[in-house]
Every structure is written in structure tokens, then in C-alpha cells.
Amino acid sequence: MSDLSTIEKHKLEKLFGMGNGYVLDFSDRTFQDFVLDKSELDILSEKYSYSSGSKANRLRRFWGVETNYIAGKLTAELIAYWKDKKIINEAETTAQEQELYEECLRIAQRLKQEFPIENIDAIQANNEDKDFKLLEKLIRESIERNEPETALDRLHTFVVKYVRELCRKHNIEYALTEALNSIFGKYVKHVVGTGLIHSAMAEKILKFSIQIMDAFNDVRNNRSFAHDNPILNYHESVLIFNNISSSIKFIDSIEEHLVVQQQEIKLEWKEFDV
């Protein structure tokens, strides 16, 4: 849920004219269409039913149950709509209205700073290949626009490149024709064999991730822009991004430990030779 303060809510409600249950000049239908277009969420669904069920109360409920980013994104769109109506109607903006408008913009920007994708910093190329770096950049730009569903095919390509690089690093043989889940399975087997996984649960999660990668192949082929497909919805795309990014973050930590382990082995051999 968003963390709008009481004062912030009052400012937004004043700008949007929510005192009598209204939101700007929207009817129930146009408000529903606007929110659906800007957030892919149905403001008239039971999820946002609150008190009288008015447009104002539904927006208050929206702020109460959605994340900062989603609440901020819709709020910014409503603020832009308020400004556009002023221009279209050639209505004068008073100094007081301008001040309130700018304060509300700052509120929306603060909310939007919280991305829906956790561990997004984990999406980093693990070699210096120029195309790989560009792929990382394009994925991040899609996330910054809050459009994870448009980058699922690129995320899949990123993970394939990422896992192949891990296999090259550890001399794990694979064929270019092998599917992502197959290559990842070989890497997981190698990691488990190093003894760095200290719990049966973590080992099971890693092995289950092989099945997740197999399912990711299907998403890429049938629910992404890789082909002429119906695109997966926003919320499931966020779930997939979060799962993949958290897995990569965990693997990065394993790789750091592997580097330390290899350094220790080299030191031991050096001492033995002496």
C-alpha cells in the first residue's frame, strides 16, 4: 500500500475537487476508462469499493491498497489531466492553484521513485559484450517506464546470455541449441557440487528454479513480443521479473563466494608447493 500522509492526501483531494465524492470532471464511466488506460486496473471493481463507492472514495481506496509506484503513476496522470483541462478551457491558474499543483507534482514524483521490481540492480551483464550491455539498458528502461510486460522477451534473452556466461566461466559444456532450463540445470548441478549451498531448502529452491526457467521459455515464446503473441498482463510480468531478479541476485552472491573459494584453494596449493 502507498504511504501517502494525511497532509499529502488533503492536497491531492483539494486539487482533484474530491470534497463531494467527485474526481475532477469524470463520470463513473470516463473515470473507469481513464484509470484502466493509465494503470490497467478497474477502479469500479470490488477491490476499490469503499464507503459510499463514489469516485472520490474509490480513488482514496486505490491510494490505500496499491503500491507507491502504481499510486504515484495514476496520481501523476490525474495531475496532468487537471493541467490539460485548464489549458483546453483557457482557464486562469491562480497563484494558489499553481502552488498546489507543484506540491502535488512533488508528491506524485516521490511515490513513483519506488519501483515495482525488487533487486532491479541485479539485472547487470556479467561480461563486457556490447550487445549484452545494451540489452541490460533496454530492460532497465522498460522497468523505469513501469512496462515490464514489454520486456519479457528481452529479459529471457538476458538470462540466456547470463547463464551461458556462467557456464563458460566454470567450463560447463553446453550447446547453443540447448534451452534455457537445460543450461541453467547444468549450472545448478555445478553449484550444488561446490558445497556452498548450506541448506536443503536453498538447494530445493535452486533446483525448482530449473522448472521456472522452463516455464519462462513458454512465456517468452507465447506471451511476449518475441512473436506475434497476446502479451502477458502487467501483474504477472512483475511477478516474473521479481522472481528472476531475486534468483540472479542470489546467484551473484554464490559467484562471489566461489571466487573466494578459488582464491583460498590457490593459496593452499602455493603453500603446499613451498
156 and 58 in a single domain? The answer is no
Q: What is the dihedral of CA 172, 177, 181, 183, to 10 degrees?
A: 0
Q: Do 102 and 125 belong to one domain?
A: no
Whether residue 159 contacts residue 216, with contact meaning beta carbons closer than 8 Å, is answered with yes
| Dihedral pair phi/psi, residue 264, rounded to 5° | -65, -40
Task: Give yes or no for a contact between 17 and 23, defined as CB atoms under 8 angstroms apart.
Answer: yes
Mean pLDDT for the stretch of residues 59-84: 94
**Is 213 inside a domain boundary?**
yes
Distance, in Å, from the CA atom of 110 to the CA atom of 114, rounded to the nearest integer, reads 8
Question: Is 227 a member of any domain?
Answer: yes
Q: What pLDDT digit, counting tens, does each position of 72-92 carry?
A: 999 999 999 999 999 999 999
pLDDT band of 272, cuts 50, 70, 90? low
Looking at the fold, whether 128 and 99 belong to one and the same domain comes out as no
Same domain, 211 and 137: yes
Same domain membership, residue 190 and residue 150? yes
Q: Is residue 161 part of a domain?
A: yes
Mean pLDDT throughout 242-271?
80
- Shared domain for 136 and 242, answered yes or no, is yes
Give me the pLDDT at residue 273, please.
58
Q: Are residues 64 and 102 in the same domain?
A: yes
Question: How far apart (Å, rounded) are the C-alpha atoms in residues 32 and 45?
Answer: 9
- Count of domains in the chain? 2
Q: Is 93 found in the same domain as 125?
A: no
Give the domain extent around 183: 120-273
Rounded Cα–Cα distance for residues 152 and 55 (Å): 34
Spell out the long-range contacts of 93-102 with Cβ–Cβ below 8 A and sequence spacing 24 or more: 100/11, 100/14, 100/15, 101/15
User: Which of 63, 95, 112 is where one domain is finished?
Assistant: 112
Residue 1 belongs to some domain of the structure: no
> Are residues 228 and 189 both part of a single domain?
yes
Residue 274: CB atoms within 10 Å:
5
**Spatial distance between the Cα atoms of 148 and 107, rounded to a whole number of angstroms:** 24
Flag whether pLDDT at 121 surpasses 60.
yes
Examine the domain organization and report whether 145 and 218 are in the same domain: yes
C-alpha cell at 236: 504477472
Q: What single string gives the DSSP state of each residue in 45-72?
A: SGGG--TT--HHHHHHHHHHHS-HHHHH
pLDDT at residue 269 above 70? no
Q: Please check whether residue 176 lies inside any domain of the structure.
A: yes
Same domain, 142 and 234: yes
Residue ending a domain, among 79, 112, 145, is 112
Question: CA–CA separation, 43 vs 28, rounded Å?
Answer: 9
Average pLDDT, the chain: 92
Q: Where residue 242 falls among pLDDT bands split at 50, 70, 90?
A: very high
Put residue 119 in one of left, alpha, beta given phi > 0 → left and psi -120 to 50 → alpha.
left
Residue 170 domain-assigned (yes or no): yes
One domain for residues 12 and 56: yes
Q: Is residue 74 part of a domain?
A: yes
- Asked whether residue 30 is domain-assigned, the answer is yes
Cβ–Cβ < 8 Å for 40, 150? no
Predicted local confidence at residue 69, as pLDDT: 85
Q: How many residues would you count in the chain?
A: 274
Could you say which of 64, 79, 112 is where a domain stops?
Answer: 112
